[in-house]
């Protein structure tokens, strides 16, 4: 049975949040993250607030009721940038609305099937923002995938625990605003 991709807004995402937390736990148990129950609980506790952010969109790859992958994000307002950034972004980037990709994850046993590429394509399709941005752990295998997909590093940051992060951007095509 093929994977089904479903786009959720804040309201419809509520029902899939427990499965998203389960997927997060599996993906982030791997190196270099090696997150445990405390980090997973913090992620779960923050999710309801994430869904209330402007422009929130979640895309899931559903495989007969199980999540094979997911990607979500929200609009980062014009004038805003990543907390703890080590350098100021270019002025035109800071001045623009950006779509902040907060999670883009695929179950380990489903990688290499194109699920991640389809998730991000659907997540970014028709976005009104000029740029997409995300933070990536440079030690993660995903970092090389982002580079091959055209994401460019514009700075760095660190998580509260000190883990270094690369701040990446991808220009989005200018498209008319599409109703979601």
Neighbours of 131 (CB within 10 A): 19
Residue 94 has pLDDT above 70, yes or no: yes
- Is residue 103 assigned to a domain? yes
Considering its fold, how many domains does the chain have in total?
1
The string of DSSP letters for 112-156 reads TSSHHHHHHHHHHTT-SSSEEEEEE-TTSHHHHHHHHTT-EEEEE
- Is residue 177 assigned to a domain? no
| DSSP secondary structure letter of residue 111 | T
pTM of the model: 0.92
Residue 104 has pLDDT above 90, yes or no: yes
Annotate 34-55 with three-state secondary structure: CCCHHHHHHHHHHHHHHHCCCC
Strands 98-106 and 131-136: parallel
pLDDT band at 1 (very low <50, low <70, confident <90, very high): low
- Is residue 179 assigned to a domain? no
Strands 152-158 and 4-8: unpaired
Residue 177 has pLDDT above 70, yes or no: no
Q: Which domain holds residue 102?
A: 4-171
Neighbours of 38 (CB within 10 A): 8
Give the CATH number of the domain where residue 14 resides: 3.40.630.30
């Amino acid at each position: 049975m093929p994977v089904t991709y479903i786009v959720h807004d804040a309201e419809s995402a509520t029902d899939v949040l427990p499965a998203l937390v389960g997927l997060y736990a599996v993906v982030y148990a791997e190196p270099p993250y090696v997150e445990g129950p405390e980090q997973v609980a913090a992620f779960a506790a923050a999710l309801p607030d994430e869904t209330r952010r402007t422009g929130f969109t979640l895309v899931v790859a559903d495989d007969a009721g199980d999540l094979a992958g997911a990607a979500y994000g929200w609009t980062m307002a014009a004038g805003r940038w990543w907390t703890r950034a080590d350098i100021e972004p270019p002025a035109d980037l800071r001045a623009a609305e950006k779509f902040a990709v907060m999670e883009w994850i695929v179950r380990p046993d489903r990688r290499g099937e194109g699920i991640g590429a389809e998730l991000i394509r659907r997540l970014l399709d028709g976005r009104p923002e000029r740029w997409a941005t995300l933070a990536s752990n440079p030690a993660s295998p995903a970092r090389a995938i982002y580079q091959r997909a055209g994401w460019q590093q514009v700075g760095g940051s660190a998580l509260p625990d000190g883990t270094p992060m690369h701040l990446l951007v991808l220009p989005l095509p200018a498209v008319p605003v599409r109703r979601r």
